[in-house]
Structure 1
Amino acid sequence: MSGIDFFKRLLGGHAPEGAHRGHLVQAAKGLRTLVVDDSPTIRAVLGKMLEQEGYGVQKAVDGESALELAKTEQPELIFLDVVLPGINGFAVLRALRHDPLTQHIPIVMISGNQQATEQFYVQRFGADDFIRKPFGLGEVQQSIDQLVRAERLPARVSTPPMVIATVTPYEELPSTLSGMAA
């Protein structure tokens, strides 16, 4: 995959299988998310994707700061890289799942490692989803959609379209109605 293809995919040029079968459900606007990755590019691009979808974004570069932010800021969704400096993503996931303050937060693990064993460990330690790098907007939306449908995240409430009523001036009312007003 060329560098240009990588960035096209990151910015939404590739949709995951099944994404076009039905309407993807978004999480509530303003949903607080935490993006944990040691790559400034992934933090920036994933953060931008989430912000454009209407979500609040905080970022952490390592496991220690991720644990601290998760406890103090109580995000509603965490995107957590597996390979991190210091405490790796598996240890962070385990710690978050064992802490009563954070055990309820949905966690989506992300990794560039193509080995299936990683996905096994992610599921074993209690992650809600797994996304392989490089990923695009479609994969992020699909993951959020699955969490909303599983009732792990609140759904976005769509606002019904406004209906503008037409008011007829009193003078233009039919004579049968105008006589009633007098």
Structure 2
Amino acid sequence: MSDENGKMGRPMGPSTLHLPLLPKMADEIAASGVGPYKAARLVLTDPEKNAIDSLARCWKQYGAPYLQEAKRPEKGASEPNTSGIVNLSFPRHLNKIGAMASAAEQADSLLNGHAQKVAKALFDSPLQRILNGFHDSPAQRLARGYYDSPATRIIREMQTSPVTRAAMGLRSEAEERIVRRF
């Protein structure tokens, strides 16, 4: 039998189904230090023995570059965690938590930047300039002077005193009695 159509049998090279799983396996191995079989079990959604073996074999042949990429510290990151406590406690969720935290920080900085731009635009608006001008106007200063005068303070203190409150209570009770009579 001639070999005119190429090789027969099993295809050589990684399966197209395994290629997307190799970075996830690298993250698992880098985060928790498990072997390729355990990482394959963690990565596959419905692990069967054949699928685990196939993915582990593919990892042994093609997984080294993915592992180097996973172990490389991120740009701008501080020193890697050397305690091992967190990595051993939460191996499957570390990458998700880190991704969520960085996404939250990015969203926070984006929203704060947008909020600062909006606040600046409102503060520099013509309406705000008019209101600021009114706040410093002579009429407003005169009104503040009356409000802060000693006589006005005494009147406010008298209105809020317990004696005045009691008298107002008696007055409202007397008014209620008069209204009931009629």
- What is the TM-score when the length of structure 1 is the normalising length? 0.22
The structure in which a higher percent of residues are helix is: 2
